[in-house]
A = this chain, B = another copy of it.
């Protein structure tokens, strides 16, 4: 079985390693739904009991909402139930017990098993797409791509990176040191990658698989068992993931308890209890700054990888494709109702306007034209719903309401409610655009959801400084700029290198600042307050294992 798995996934692993180093486009996971057969209706998921045969189970989470069952942002209850552990220590104990054989398996077999997990997840992409859609509120097309193949890509990227880092040193090496006229000293040295211990994945509501797979697979591939604590509103995608992982692990002759689900009943606070458990040595987290900082401050026994919140900023100086820019920006602001950690929020535009291929445009014109572009993009309700998805939680809706009352500043574009025949209960809203002036208004902090801020600035130079300060002080997952000037480009590149954020320049087509591609783009940098790590670089995996040397004379 081990040999067969390694054979089966050898070419994929090799290609992933090549792609990781080359950064060209590559994916073994087709992104079009037609590659995967029939869609899976929500009804096919509803009523399932994903009890997973886990140790320590004393009951279930769900299916009723009052028992932790999920409700889709599109309306329906999911009515799925999950195992509930009587004590989180039983999960970590089961994980620890499973670890030795997995540690002994070595990097190559572990990588092959991880590839097989991703392969089986990939084959069930339509099911994951529906699960992601009805837990995150992403529209189906996005849930399919981001929750399916793109998440799988990020998982495979972590597997490849983990494999590469664990094999930098040879398994065995001869050491021969000359001693002048005497015989040389000769030794054999063996190097073994050993895991750190139990890893904890604390999942997020909006991208449970895309943001979950890098940490999950980086930890697993480096020999660590993983306890998966999903966000209470987005359990199903990670529960399905755990189910597949357990099945593959058992098939490969390992304990399924190398991957465990820690679902929680309402108010249980399981993430904190697990995070402080002495056996938990690695934590991956995506979510609020508040809880991310709590983890960093309190889970001192663990390596903590966090992706928190930030304020993504776009500087608009000039463009040679005004319509392309407006269309690209409109799409970026609209996709998943701006509920991405990568959605741009603050658009800095010189008060005296910008140069374009359609002549100079005043600040007011740019703001109005952007509003127009958003309106055109989302003019058709069906198309709009397919782009926007549903509002993920009441907090986002409250902020939209505040924006509409003018609480954030002058409303330049109102948010529109989109009616859905398919999901009449869903709250689907187009983005609001608020206009501010940096001479008068403080730059807004994070305002998660479909609310963007156009900010008039004194000059491009001031915009560059505000971008730099925002990234430094508040963090950012993304930054972008539009300019035809090489001087401005150089200044904004300098500010981004300095403040520590990756930059997208002059996006006017079908690549969007919100989106990064595994094997090519880094997601986050770890160099500003929004995140302490990136998907996926050596720093993300190299500390998840340690190397032990055994030496002897040969």
Residues of A within 8 A of B (CB): 21-25, 100, 103, 165, 168-170, 173-179, 185, 187, 189, 191-192, 194, 196, 296-297, 300, 493, 496-498, 500-511, 517, 520-522, 525-527, 534, 537-539, 542-543, 546-553
Report how far A22 CA is from B191 CA in the complex, Å. 12
Please determine whether B165 and A538 come into contact, CB atoms closer than 8 angstroms.
yes
Chain B residues with CB under 8 Å of A500's CB are: 194, 546, 548
Give bound CA distance, A165 to B542, whole Å. Answer: 11
B-chain residues with CB within 8 Å of residue A503 when the two chains form the complex: 548-551
Residues in chain B near residue A522, CB distance under 8 A: 191, 547, 549
State the majority secondary structure of interface residues on A.
Answer: mixed
**Which residues of chain B have C-beta atoms less than 8 A from A526's C-beta?**
543, 546
Contact of A174 among B24, B194, B496 (CB under 8 A): B24
Task: Kindly state the separation between the CA atoms of A51 and B529 in the bound complex, as whole angstroms.
Answer: 38
By the criterion CB–CB under 8 Å, are A502 and B25 in contact?
no
Q: How far is the CA of A547 from the CA of B23 in the complex (A)?
A: 13
Contact A551 B175 (CB under 8 A): no
Choose one: B24, B497, B501, B551; the contact of A173 (CB below 8 Å): B24
Q: How far is the CA of A498 from the CA of B185 in the complex (A)?
A: 29
Given contacts A548-B497, A548-B501, contact A175 B538 (CB under 8 A): no
In the complex, chain B residues whose CB is within 8 Å of the CB of A297: 300
Chain B residues near A509 (CB-CB < 8 A): 185, 553
Quote the shortest CB–CB distance from A72 to chain B (angstroms).
32
Residues of B within 8 A of A527 (CB): 194, 196, 546, 548
Asked whether, in the complex, the Cβ of A192 is within 8 Å of the Cβ of B497, the reply is yes
Distance, CA A543 to CA B177, complexed state (A): 32
Enumerate chain B residues within 8 angstroms of A192, measured Cβ to Cβ.
497
Contacts of A196 in B (CB 8 A): 527
What's the nearest-Cβ distance from chain B to residue A283, in Å? Answer: 16
Q: Which residues from chain B contact A510 at a C-beta distance below 8 Å? A: 179, 185
Cα-based distance from A169 to B538 in the complex (angstroms): 10
- How far is B187's CA from A178's CA once the two chains are assembled, in angstroms? 51
CB distance from A219 to the nearest CB of B (A): 14
Q: Of B506, B537, B550, which is within 8 A of A502 by CB?
A: B550
- The residues of B that contact A187 with a CB separation of less than 8 Å are 511
Contact assessment for A517 and B168 in the assembled complex, using a CB-CB cutoff below 8 Å: no
Please report the C-alpha to C-alpha distance between residue A177 and residue B525 in the assembled complex, in whole angstroms: 23
Q: Which of A185, A194, A498, A551 has the most CB of B within 10 A?
A: A551
Residues of B contacting A175 in the complex (Cβ-Cβ under 8 angstroms): 23-25, 517, 520
Q: Are A525 and B552 in contact (CB under 8 A)?
A: no
What is the distance, in angstroms, from A314's C-beta to the closest C-beta of chain B?
14
Residue A22 contacts which of B23, B170, B296, B504 (CB distance < 8 angstroms)? B170
Complex interface: chain B residues within 8 A of A24 (CB): 173-176
C-alpha spacing A179/B510, complex, angstroms: 10
Closest CB in chain B relative to A232 CB, distance in Å: 29
* The residue from B25, B170, B174, B496 contacting A550, defined by CB atoms under 8 A apart: B496
- CB pair A23–B169 under 8 Å, yes or no, is yes
Could you tell me if B25 and A177 are in contact, using CB atoms closer than 8 angstroms?
A: yes
Listed A/B pairs (23) with beta-carbon separation below 8 Å = A21-B169, A25-B185, A168-B537, A179-B510, A185-B509, A496-B548, A502-B548, A503-B549, A505-B550, A507-B552, A507-B553, A508-B553, A509-B553, A522-B547, A522-B549, A525-B546, A525-B549, A526-B546, A527-B548, A537-B542, A537-B547, A539-B546, A542-B543
Q: Please indicate the chain B residues that have their CB under 8 angstroms from the CB of A539 in the complex.
A: 542-543, 546
Known: A173-B520, A509-B553, A552-B504. Is A538-B546 also a contact (CB below 8 A)?
A: no
Least Cβ distance of A490 to chain B in Å?
A: 11
A527's closest neighbor in chain B, by CB? B546
Give Cα A125 to B196, complex, Å.
Answer: 39
Contact with A511, one of B174, B185, B534, B550 (Cβ below 8 angstroms):
B185
A493→B550 contact, CB < 8 A: yes
Cβ-neighbour of A552 out of B173, B505, B538, B548 (below 8 A): B505
